[in-house]
Amino acid sequence: MNNLKLSTREPEHRTVVDVSGVQVGKGFTVIAGPCSVESESQTVETARAVKASGADMMRGGAFKPRSSPYSFQGLGLKGLKILAKARSEIGLPIVTEVLDPRDVSWVAEFADVLQIGTRNMQNYSLLKEVGMVGKPVLLKRGMYSTLEEWLNCAEYILSEGNPNVILCERGIRTFEKYTRNTLDLSAVPAMRELTHLPIIIDPTHSTGRISLIGPMSLASVAAGADGLIIEVHNNPAEALCDADQALTPDLFEDMMRQLRPLQSFMERLPRLKTSHQAM
């Protein structure tokens, strides 16, 4: 990992990313919201519900990277305007994905955090572009990428002068078919050893199954992650994408009721001894 100059510097130092007042890297940050922005009422209603359950930020896609060109591609600029409306009404900072280098400055005008999706993790021109914008970046792990490749991509953003990078583990491709991907939860303590950047977990895309999202969210807290990004839809049956993996506001609330006490419990525990020397 000799080429990693900025992401591995000062292992004792921990980066805290300030997102319009929300400190990512301190405590446990929960980001929730629909896969894609479909309408103003859907977005605002979902934002209201997740805030009531204790979410710190909201997510919502205006530009969607879909496996098929015939699937819903997102509302684009109209979606960004709806997200801005939801922020002003509900007061949660906005995380949204950017796909095209030409859109970066425009998305930055509306969003609080720019998300680089798993398919674009190694889109180097896009990484350079978000590195030049003064907004925090949420960098998802490529579904076929090693930790080192992932850190190299963070390095692209850092080296352009943007220090505010949040890593997001979203599952990797394995031979297992029951789950959509395999959640590599060991990435959390591993990244703690390798980098000062905060790391959060996406339990939605890594499992692809509603029944597994809650347990994996709690496991993320126990593993020492800095937060979660999770899909919640006010009416999953009518969602235009990822309908079968979005939590309803009720399920989200139920999960949050267990998550926050677990978080306080974990914060009270002494740090786990992690090496032979320390024994």
Interacting residues toward another protein by CB under 8 A = 77, 81, 102-103, 105-106, 108-110, 133
Residue 240 gets which letter from DSSP? S
Residue number with CB closer to another protein (133 or 212): 133
Rounded to 5°, the CA angle 198-138-97 comes to 165
| Min dist. Cβ of residue 79 to another protein (A) | 13
For another protein, which is the closer residue by CB, 129 or 242?
Answer: 129
End-to-end CA distance of the chain: 28
Quick one: 63 or 150, whose CB is closer to another protein? Answer: 63
Q: Which long-range contacts (CB under 8 A, 24 or more apart) does 233-240 make?
A: 233/34, 233/35, 233/42, 233/46, 234/34, 234/42, 234/45, 234/46, 234/49, 235/42, 239/34, 239/35, 239/36, 239/38, 240/35, 240/36, 240/38, 240/72
* Residue 105 and residue 98 in contact, taking contact as beta carbons nearer than 8 Å: no
Kindly state the smallest distance separating residue 133's Cβ from another protein, in Å: 8
Q: Which is nearer to another protein, 45 or 129 (CB)?
A: 129
Specify which residues 29 forms β-bridges with.
227
Shortest reach from residue 85's CB to another protein, in Å: 10
| Closest distance to another protein from the beta carbon of 103 (Å) | 7
Identify which of residues 26 and 102 has a Cβ nearer to another protein in the complex: 102
CB distance 139 to 116 below 8 Å:
yes
- Nearest distance from residue 96's CB to another protein, in Å? 15
